[in-house]
């Protein structure tokens, strides 16, 4: 693509980011930072987006880079025209940028591939479809559903669900015991583990779990959906076999994700989707059928016209985070985490959810419950009365949240429902999450709002509508 166009826009974005940091705002400006929202009590407020764990707002720089490319958009891998060639180069350069961001191992028999997908969920479903026959999968019950659910869809895959650990050391011991109990002649094995919990934000001992997996002949895939936006990832240093993450949590829009890692299982599997781009040649047979020679590169699992803008937006976000410096970003985020934890600790009615304890290292994701409040009611009041957007529910990690809330594992519950079903206690929590685009003021407003709501109650009446808790317009 024309270097002058992208370089100029990227430089301008970087200048704005630097200016924002010097003025005391978030180090990486995001879209929506100036959006005003109405309050039910009257007036407006700057919207405080504190639901980064669901979808982080797009970086302004990513948006600017994509806008600079948009006039040059063309078909990828399919056209001889100038714009098609530019788009193809951009797409493949994005793949290389992401490989560098992840510390992918060099090409070759032991090298890594970067496959573009739609999301973390799509990436892990792709890997599940590529498992060799009779693979045994080990997964902790604490995983997000994207990591928990894909593996049982094949009849020849055996899934072992591991109990929730209460310390990082216990997680390693539980996995070691499970792997040691396998039959010596058993087939391939895969361990799936998160890097950072989408419920508690706690960091998992990925390197130690990888060492245990490999010591027992198993492979390991890292769900980095919540880790990648907050911490640098090095596949080689962590010694994991695959990494999966989503662009929409990494400050990049447009519905794209990544599965990066060892090529052999991916090359040996049937293409995830059958179609153009995945095949090198297709020829009719004399019996009326067709013979297909599939690609062995990442293209094998990228059938159809690729999401070039999605891929480029992820690469642009990776570049922006790298240039901003993870050391500085992590240090600032830890300060914000400390401020939230200190503020919540002053409210006795608030209980922060944790597997590993208060001192466990974590990213900017915290979940909590408030005594005397339904979590959906509390979240609705934060939004309607303070302009603060958080998440409430079970966060697509139902077994984990139920464990943390002390409910039985088979107790039913509806994600996000403000009221429980008849005969069932309410099962939901509140999650606040933030990152490189979060201004200090949003954190301070959140802490102040929690204190005021607990001390004084909501200033408005709320009702259930469409399964959600919403302000009552008749109030």
Give the residue numbers marked as catalytic: 396
Q: Is 310 helix (H, G, I), strand (E, B) or coil?
A: helix
What is the rounded CA–CA span in Å between residue 354 and residue 356? 6
Burial string for 7-17 (b: 16+ CB within 10 Å, else e) reads eebbeebeeeb
User: Residue 250: which of 27, 436, 443 has the closest Cα?
Assistant: 436
What is the rounded CA–CA span in Å between residue 254 and residue 62? 11
Residue 248 is classified by DSSP as G
Helix (H) or strand (E) holding 161: strand 158-162
Hey, which residues does 245 pair with through a beta bridge? 258
Burial string for 150-172 (b: 16+ CB within 10 Å, else e) reads bbeebeebbbebbebbeebeebb
Q: Decide if 139 contacts 124 (C-beta within 8 A).
A: no
Q: What DSSP string describes 54-69?
A: T-PPPBHHHHHHHHHH
What is the rounded CA–CA span in Å between residue 261 and residue 96? 13
Burial string for 431-443 (b: 16+ CB within 10 Å, else e) reads bbbbbbbbbeebb
């Amino acid at each position: 693509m024309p270097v002058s166009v992208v370089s100029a826009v990227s430089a301008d974005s970087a200048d704005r980011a630097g200016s924002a940091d010097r003025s005391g705002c978030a180090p990486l400006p995001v879209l929506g930072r100036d959006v005003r929202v109405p309050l039910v009590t009257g007036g407006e407020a700057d919207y405080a987006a504190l639901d980064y764990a669901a979808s982080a707002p797009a970086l302004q720089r990513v948006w600017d880079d994509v806008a600079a490319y948009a006039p040059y958009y063309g078909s990828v891998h399919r056209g001889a025209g100038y714009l098609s060639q530019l788009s193809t180069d951009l797409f493949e350069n994005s793949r290389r940028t992401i490989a560098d961001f992840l510390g992918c191992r060099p090409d070759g028999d032991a090298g890594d591939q970067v496959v573009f997908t739609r999301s973390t969920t799509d990436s892990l479903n792709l890997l599940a479809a590529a498992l060799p026959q009779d693979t045994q999968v080990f997964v902790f019950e604490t995983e997000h559903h994207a990591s928990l659910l894909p593996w049982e869809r094949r009849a020849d895959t055996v899934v072992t669900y591991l109990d929730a650990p209460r310390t990082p050391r216990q997680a390693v011991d539980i996995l070691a015991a499970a792997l040691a109990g396998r039959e010596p002649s058993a087939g391939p094995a895969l361990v799936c583990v998160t890097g950072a919990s989408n419920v508690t934000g706690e960091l998992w001992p990925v390197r130690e779990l990888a060492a245990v997996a490999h010591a027992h002949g198993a492979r390991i895939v890292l769900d980095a959906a919540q880790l990648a936006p907050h911490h640098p990832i090095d596949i080689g240093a962590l010694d994991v076999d695959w990494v999966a993450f989503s662009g929409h949590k990494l400050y990049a829009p447009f519905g794209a994700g990544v599965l990066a890692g060892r090529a052999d299982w991916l090359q040996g599997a049937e293409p995830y989707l059958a179609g153009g781009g995945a095949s090198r040649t297709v020829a009719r047979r004399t019996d009326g059928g067709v013979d297909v020679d599939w690609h062995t590169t990442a293209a094998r699992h990228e059938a159809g016209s690729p999401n070039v803008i999605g891929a480029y937006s992820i690469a642009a976000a990776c570049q922006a985070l790298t240039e901003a410096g993870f050391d500085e970003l992590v240090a600032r985020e830890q300060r914000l985490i400390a401020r939230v934890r200190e503020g919540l600790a002053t409210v006795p009615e608030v209980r922060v959810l944790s597997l590993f304890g208060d001192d466990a290292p974590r990213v900017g994701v915290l979940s909590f419950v408030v005594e005397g409040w339904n979590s959906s009611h509390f979240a609705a009041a934060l939004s309607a009365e303070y302009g603060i957007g958080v998440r409430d529910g079970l966060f697509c990690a139902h077994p984990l949240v139920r464990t943390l809330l002390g409910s039985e594992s088979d107790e039913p519950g509806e994600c996000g429902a403000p009221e429980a079903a008849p005969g069932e206690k309410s099962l939901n929590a509140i999650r606040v999450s933030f990152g490189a685009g979060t201004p200090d003021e949003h954190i301070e407003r959140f802490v102040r709002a929690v204190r005021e709501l607990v001390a004084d109650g909501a200033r408005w009446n709320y009702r259930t509508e469409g399964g959600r808790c919403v302000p009552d317009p008749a109030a």
